[in-house]
A and B are shown apart, each in its own frame.
Chain A
Amino acid sequence: MNPGSQPIKSRRWRYGDFLRRALFLTALGAITGAANAACPPATTDGTTITRGEITLAWRPLQVDAFLKSGRIPMARHFALEVQLCDKNGVSTAQLVKADASMPAHKHGMNYRPTIKPLGNGRFRVDGMMFHMAGQWQLAFEVQAGKEITRLTHDVQAD
């Protein structure tokens, strides 16, 4: 064996070990994150809206170095985390649309958000921005089977 190869091999093993640990921790985080899905939603899940059997909780997430609190800053991109619940607990319904508009201004956002399922009734919405000060209306569409439920919530941005 090349005497110089052993340390290199060890480093590679340590690197592989590090990757395996990182993957394990990531998986653990995802599992516990899903296990943390709270139904009915907890206060930390944010604002709650109920319509019919669906209860939706949403909260803004930090996606910007300038977003330093739970407050949605005007004219900056932000993301939302959404939790869906129903009478049985965590809902199997899907969040199929998330958007926002200014009813008094008759226009919506300048950006089209995307929705990513996180599992266990949780979703992440990216690409949101309230580009003007004033009253915004968040609108969510939740699909359970063929039925679509629309939930809205007014938000003051300033």
Chain B
Amino acid sequence: MTFRRTEHHRSRRVLATLLFLVAPAAAAEPDGFSASELERIASHGPWPTEWLRDAGNRVSANPAAIHLGQRLFFEPRLSANGRVACATCHDPARGFQDGRTTARGLVDGTRNTPGLLNVRHQRWFGWDGGHDNLWSASLRPILDRGEMSGSAARTATLLRGSATLACQYRKAFGKAPAATDPELLVNVAKAIAAWQETLVSPPTPFDRFRDALERKDLAAAALYPAAAQRGLKIFLGRGQCSTCHAGPLFTNGEFGDIGVPFFIKPTGVDPGRQGGVKRLLASPYNLLGTHNDDATRRNATGTQYLRPEHRNFGEFKVPTLRNLTLTAPYMHNGTLATLRDVVRHYSELDEDRLHADGERILKPLNLSEAESADLVAFLESLSPDAAPPAPAKPPAVAACR
């Protein structure tokens, strides 16, 4: 049984033919896309995509909380040594990443810092999905001894010592920040999450191409570089990349083993998703717990039905492919420096490194140099073609006195 819409197929088949015939020579002869390919291209948009406020966070989209969250995101006094803020690793100029192989908070970490643009669309947070909501993912680094090593007492002192922060907290949560309040840290994390929800990247050259195809504007579609179009065909077809890198965010939000080593120098092992599931289910801050503001618990479906599997060992989250040019290096351990390295990884995939009970469709792509360059051109077209976007200004709120 198929759920494809035949009417759309017909019109897109016509469009594919037209695109092939009409595209000017400057567009370097796009091969044309089949109706099926056009439908899949359409499925990667529109962008920005629809978003509903987080029902599990009562201050999601709350202007006062967004203001407070922005201040706290850049606040190093949340950390034990007063020098590490969320923004230390999540640099706005780098897509909220740090450009390092692995993160460095108070001490060196073992994983690459994930970017935060479009983080509001994620189902699982962190490379191992150890969190099922953005506020618990924001709370962990504050408390983690290797990252910020903060505490509720330190946070309360900070909030109460600043008239502005205390006022913003009061406006967001309707009460003063009290050190004795067990919800204080969770509230702080919810405010930081509310601000991160505003971090949305702008449309990209790919989005303009996709939208032009949708409105059948062939002249505009032909402006999309031919190399990126050829790379897109590999992405959708022979590469089977869109099997996992699906939808407007170019990820299915789940986990996979793609043969990236999970050993940590000198003798450790990163269990990936297997460890993440254990951490998630043991956490008092997961969506099955009391801190979830969604009384219906509809937002906890993923956690409720989670099925731990042996193959989860060594699986890591399928990352979004948006904004890649801002977030090098790549993979969970940051071992691939460039997009060309990433493409080479898939082109020369070592099947011996894959799970015996894991994904069977992963095969070396054996791409030529030209094909690799085309795929890189396509991946680059998923990033904004202008300077990194500045974070949106928080919505206006009445001044705090």
A positions within 8 Å CB-CB of B: 47, 63, 65-66, 71-72, 74-75, 77, 104-114, 126-127, 129, 131-134, 153-158
Contacts and interface: CB of A to CB of B under 8 A. Distances in A.
Interface residues of B, number: 32
Interface stretch (B161-169, B246-254, B261-269, B369-377): B246-254
Contacts, number: 82
B44 to A, nearest CB: 12
Q: Is the interface of B mostly helix, strand, loop or mixed?
A: loop
A114 B252 contact: no
Contact of B301 (A106, A108, A127): A127
Given A74-B247, A110-B306, 6 more contacts: A66-B50, A72-B3, A77-B305, A107-B359, A132-B246, A134-B243
A145 B223 CA distance: 65
B361 A158 contact: no
B307 A133 contact: no
B361 A105 contact: yes
B244 A132 contact: yes
Contacts of B247: 74-75
Interface in B149-193: none
Interface of B: 1-4, 39-40, 43, 50, 52, 242-244, 246-247, 252-255, 298, 301-302, 304-307, 309, 311, 357-361
B360 A112 contact: no
A112 B357 contact: no
Contacts of A158: 3-4, 39-40, 43
14 contacts: A65-B52, A105-B361, A106-B358, A106-B359, A106-B360, A131-B253, A132-B243, A132-B244, A133-B246, A153-B1, A155-B1, A156-B2, A156-B4, A157-B3
A131 B4 CA distance: 17
Nearest to B52: A65
Contact of A131 (B1, B252, B301): B252
Contacts of A63: 298, 301
Nearest to B50: A66
